[in-house]
Structure 1
Amino acid sequence: MMITHRSFHLELDEILSELKNKVEHIFIKKYVTIPQFPLVRLQLLNLLLYHASFPRSLRKLYCVTTGLVQMGLDVHEEIVNQRQYSEKEIRSRQLSILAGDYYSSQYYSLLSKANLVDGVKRIASGIRDINIAKMKLYTENNGDGFESIEQLIEIVKEKESALYLQFLDQLKIEEEKLFWKKLIEDMILLSTLVEERKQHQISRHHVSYLFVNYFANTVEKREIVDNKPEWRIKVKKLYHKYDISNKFTELIRRIQEDLKQRINQIDDIILKKEIRSIFDQIQDSFQLTENVVKDF
């Protein structure tokens, strides 16, 4: 069957439908905020697997299982390291930990049933790489600091893209591997930065928090690493003091220009159209958030 823009969207709808069935549990929904579906990541993974000649059924399975792991990691990311007092807060924290583990563990079950041992190893390797990147970010952010803002960004790329880079070895040409690696890393980073701006607040796992901590002096860093309720106010002040909004905008613009050039280099007409469509979605989202960000 001829692959088209519509058929790619139908595939995405099937993937999201199956993901929804597996993550929405009545008890979990009552206490845990279910994270957004990782749309951009799943679209990119599906296109990479298509380019690597994976059959549709296998692409769907890998997208569903990888999506479950991503959502499990996202649930854990939102857990705050603060003492909880109310029964509801304690229950929510406990269930968030269990929900994240539950989502992530399903990948093993699904791939094992399909006898895809290699797939289990790939995703496990991706989880390991993400945890290593998280430890790097935590150690540098709370230790001597990053050597440069470029080093910080590279580690963020590792953390955000590791799950999806595990499939690059399916490409036989080294130039292709490098091209897709950079494409996936930059597209996911761009999506991450834009989504973060839409949230209109700063959390400890946000890139903006890492930026604030990078530019802050020693005294300011000590003031925002504690777990007191007022830490958000202090971070917001530093966010404005060090002009993080404009630094973010400059970074986003730079990534956008690099991606435009990279997309124009794609020879495959179908892939080029689909990747440009994903890029345009992120672009539109970024434009819509700009007026809101100015008032933050």
Structure 2
Amino acid sequence: MSSYRITEMARPYIEYDMIQTYTELPDFPEFRVKLLHAVLSSHPAVSANSELYSLVTSLVQLGMDTHDMISNHSMDKEFKAARARQLKVLAGDYYSSRFYHLLAQSGQIEIVSRLSEAICETNRLKMNLYLAMKQHNLTAEQYIHQSVEIRAQLFLSFKGYAQEILGDRWPDLLNRFTLLELLLDEISRSETLKEVGGSWGFWHVLERCTNDEKKLLQEGELDDAKLKNLWHKYKVTFELYQLLAQQSKELRADLAALGSDKLARELLIICEPVQRYLETPKVSEEI
């Protein structure tokens, strides 16, 4: 197995006391980065740069995700909220700038160009999704599809290298690993009822609820207790667990079809935490 230490390499860039004290940062894109690193490490022409490429891609992703967390309530004057907003802007810019610096330092100008193009495409896709959300012209299935497409864009920058190793399987495998991450995030949002507006649960309920419930949901007039009852009524968390179990099963089947070579075994290990997560007692309960 190739040695994976991207998370540790990224830590000096992302761990700052002031940022951690005053604001919340997005999760590290663990599955996507591990997948990218494993594939690039298997490519004889780029294996020497697999850590660099994986690191800079993770930093760009963190930068974009950090900017996405910035509150839309720009008039919020409360000190902590204002400072958190400012730090998210600065942190996102900083993480993104590190990728330019690291690649330029190593003379990898071509990768700068590839990732820059992917950033532009990601932003275009985000605008399309945000517009559909604003118009309430979106289904839960469309939300999943578009969110996966957005999250996968940066990693598609290495499509040429990856397809030399995995052939036509690469885009589908990337999408499946990305979907696992997305579903885990959506489960967390559903269980904590944190930032559920525009989540998978929001669109899932919107497709099924009564007209009165729909009006309250769209206008954001549900308190936590009523929101919890609505999520329970339409089995949001339960349905997400079902989706996660189905996608995990299909991904493992895809990886088994790759054979028993080193890369296939490594990719199976990457998704093992999902299987363990699904085997915990709470998954079998109808939440």
What's the TM-score bracket when you normalise by the shorter of the two chains?
A: 0.7 to 0.9
SS of the equivalent of 1:12 reads: coil
1:179 to 155, 169, 172: 169
Higher relative contact order (CA 8 A, sep 6+): 2
**Alignment root-mean-square deviation, CA:** 2.8
The corresponding residue for 1:223 is 216
In structure 2, do the counterparts of structure 1 residues 107 and 210 end up closer, same or farther at CA, with 3 Å as the change threshold? farther
Q: Distance in 2 between matches of 1:216 and 1:141?
A: 17
1:1-296 pair list within 5 angstroms: 5=1, 8=2, 11-13=3-5, 15-82=6-73, 83-143=75-135, 145-146=137-138, 149-171=140-162, 176-198=166-188, 200-201=191-192, 202-203=194-195, 204=197, 206-216=199-209, 220-226=213-219, 230=222, 235-267=227-259, 269-288=261-280, 290=282, 294=286
Instruction: Spell out, residue by residue over 1:73-97, the C-alpha distance to the aligned partner (whole angstroms, 9 max, x if none).
Output: 2222322223423212111111112
In structure 2, do the counterparts of structure 1 residues 86 and 187 end up closer, same or farther at CA, with 3 Å as the change threshold? same
Q: Among all aligned residue pairs of Structure 1 and Structure 2, give the percentage whose two residues are the same amino acid.
A: 26
Contact 1:165–1:181 at 8 Å: present in 2 too? yes
Instruction: Spell out, residue by residue over 1:11-42, the C-alpha distance to the aligned partner (whole angstroms, 9 max, x if none).
Output: 322x2222000112233223222333222111
Residue 21 of structure 2 aligns to which amino acid in structure 1?
Answer: K
Aligned residues: 283
SS of the equivalent of 2:99 reads: helix
Contact 1:197–1:289 at 8 Å: present in 2 too? no
Structure 2 spans left out of the alignment, 5+ residues? none
Residue 171 of structure 2 aligns to which amino acid in structure 1?
Answer: K
Return the offset for 1:222.
4.7
Instruction: Spell out, residue by residue over 1:185-239, the C-alpha distance to the aligned partner (whole angstroms, 9 max, x if none).
Output: 11221122124324532424643334334445666455334567x5655544432
Query: Which deviates further from its counterpart, 118-127 or 198-207?
Result: 198-207
Q: Distance in 2 between matches of 1:286 and 1:37?
A: 21
Q: Distance in 2 between matches of 1:227 and 1:159?
A: 26
Contact 2:241–2:283 at 8 Å: present in 1 too? no
Residue 115 of structure 2 aligns to which amino acid in structure 1?
Answer: I
SS of the equivalent of 1:166 reads: helix
Q: Distance in 2 between matches of 1:167 and 1:95?
A: 31
Contact 1:141–1:213 at 8 Å: present in 2 too? no
TM-score by length of 2: 0.85
